[in-house]
Structure 1
C-alpha cells in the first residue's frame, strides 16, 4: 500500500479518526495510540458496523449505559476507504461495489472449498504437500508419501512459524549432528507458518475461536509457500568453524601430551 497516500478521516462525534485499512482500525488523529478495532471493538452487520462509543474517553464501551454512551453506526471499510481496500486486496474499485468487507478480505471460493473439506496445500522446495492439521502431518500431494510430521518442526521464539532442517532427497526434517565438520549435502532450512497460517479454518474450530474474526486477521492464503533458507545463511557455517577449531585444539593438546619427556641428566 502506498505509504505516502493521505488516509481518509471519519468524524466520530466531533473527533477525527484516521481510517487505517491495513490494521483495520480507526486511529484518533490527535492521539494515535487510541485505536478502535473494526474486528474486536465493533460488531459487523452486513455493510456497516455497530460501535458502543464513549464520547468522554473516546473509546469503545461494552458495559456502561449512561448518557455518554452512544450506539453508533460506522460505515464499512469499503465505503470509508475504497482506494485503500482496492490497493490492499488488489481488487479494482469498481468491483468492490455490493461486497462486504469480509467478502473482500477473505477469498470466498477458497473458504467454500475449505468448508467442503478440501484441505489446503503448501509448497515446500518446489513440491506440494497437503496440510492435515487434524493428523498433524503434511502429505505429498501427488504421491501421498512421504508423510512429514509437524511434530518434527520447532516453533520459532515468536510462535508464528515452524522451522526445521530439511533433507531435499528424503523429503523429511532432520536433526543435524552437533559435531558437524562439513556442510551436509541436500540439506536446507525451511520455515512454515504456524497453525493459524497453515489452516485458519481448522485452527478456529480446534481452539473454539471466532472463525470470521480469525479469518479477517489471517485470511486463507491461495498459494502457501515455505521459506527456503540455504545452509550458508544459517548458523551451520559458524557451527562447523567452531567444531573445527575445537578439533584442532584437541589435536594440539594430544600432540603436546604425546611428546617424549626429556630425561634428567646425572
Structure 2
C-alpha cells in the first residue's frame, strides 16, 4: 500500500507535502501548487507571502490580501521521504538542515570554498565553465579564449531544445546556414548543453549578487557534466534540409516554366545590299 503523504495547514487550507516534486499541493485542488524553489530560506524553514484569495504565493501584480507565512523544513515535514530521496539513513537526519541533505556538500565545498570551476565533457573534450566570461575554456589550454557560451533563447533553438552544432576538430560551436543547408554536415555533430544556471548555479548567483546558496536545493549542484551527442536524425535538421531542397525544386520548376513561356524572337539575316 502506497504511503499517504503528510499534510500541512496554511491559513485553513490543507496542502500535501510532495518531497519528490518539491512542492506543496493543495489537497482539494491538485492544479494549485506552491514550489519550494519560490520560497525564501530562513533559519527555521521556509518563508513566503501567501495570497489569501489565490491560496498561493502572492502575485505582486494583484491587490489580494496576503500574510507572511513560515513553514518547517522538509526534514521535519516528511523525514521518511527525505531519507528515501536523498539516501540518508533516518538515524542520520537528526540535526541536519534541508540544505545539508539536499545539496552535495562536497561539490559545494569545492565550488564555494576552494573556488574550483565545474567542467563539461563535449565529445571527449573537457571544458571549464567560466560564467563571468560567458565561455567554455578548454581544460588542456586554459589560456585560450575557448568557446562563447551559446544563446539559450527559445528563438535560437533551431535544431531542438538546447541543441547546437559542434565541430570536434576545431572544438567550437558552429552556426549553420539554415536557409541554405541541403545536406547533413559530415564534420559536425549535434550536442545538447545544459542551461548556464544548471552548469554553475553558484557562479550565476555571484554574477547577480545573490546568496551563493540561492536555488541550490532545487538545482542538483554538480561539478562535472556531459554534453550528450544527439543523432542528426533526432534533431530538426532533416526537416530543415527537406524544406530547403523542396524550395530549390520549386524555384527550379518556376524557372523552367518561365523559360519555356518566354517568346522567341526570330532575327532574319540581312544580306548585303547591292
Distance 1:259 1:29, change over 3 A: closer
Q: Structure 1 residues 213, 159: CA separation in 2 closer, same or farther (over 3 Å shift)?
A: farther
Structure 2 unaligned residues grouped into runs of 5+: 59-65, 267-274
Tell me which residue corresponds to 2:204: 203
1:75 counterpart (69, 72, 75): 72
- Work out whether 1:173 is the aligned partner of 2:169: no
Partner of 2:215: 214
217-226 or 125-134, which deviates more: 217-226
Partners of 1:71 and 1:165 in 2: CA distance: 47
Q: Is 2:128 the counterpart of 1:127?
A: no
**Correspondences of 1:25-174 after superposition (within 5 Å):** 25-32=23-30, 35=33, 38=36, 40-41=38-39, 43-45=41-43, 48-49=44-45, 74-115=71-112, 116-144=114-142, 147-150=146-149, 153-157=150-154, 162-174=162-174
Shift of 1:33: 5.1
Q: Deviation digits for residues 174-223 of structure 1, max 9, x if unmatched?
A: 12233222221132222222221111111111112333232123231243
Normalising by the residue count of structure 2, what TM-score does the alignment of the two structures yield?
Answer: 0.73
SS of corresponding position for 1:179: coil
Query: How many residues align structurally?
Result: 250
Note if contact 2:80-2:90 (Cα within 8 Å) is conserved in structure 1.
yes
User: Structure 2: how far apart are the matches of 1:102 and 1:159?
Assistant: 35
Tell me, in whole angstroms, the C-alpha distance in 1 between the residues paired with 2:262 and 2:38. 78
Note if contact 1:146-1:171 (Cα within 8 Å) is conserved in structure 2: no
How far off its partner does 1:130 sit?
A: 0.6
Aligned to 2:206, the other structure's residue is in SS state: helix
- More divergent stretch after superposition (184-193 vs 14-23): 14-23
Please state how far the C-alpha of 1:26 moved relative to its aligned partner.
Answer: 3.3
Question: Taking structure 1 as reference, are residues 35 and 98 closer, same or farther at Cα in structure 2, changes over 3 Å only?
Answer: same
Question: Cα distance, 1:38 vs. partner?
Answer: 4.7
Whether contact under 8 Å (2:46, 2:73) holds in the other structure is no
Secondary structure at the residue paired with 1:193? coil
- CA radius of gyration, larger in: 2
> What is the CA-CA distance between 1:260 and the residue it aligns to?
9.9
Question: Over aligned residue pairs, what C-alpha RMSD do you find?
Answer: 3.8
Shift of 1:158: 8.8
Q: TM-score, normalised by structure 1?
A: 0.75
Cα distance in 2 for partners of 1:107, 1:200 equals 13
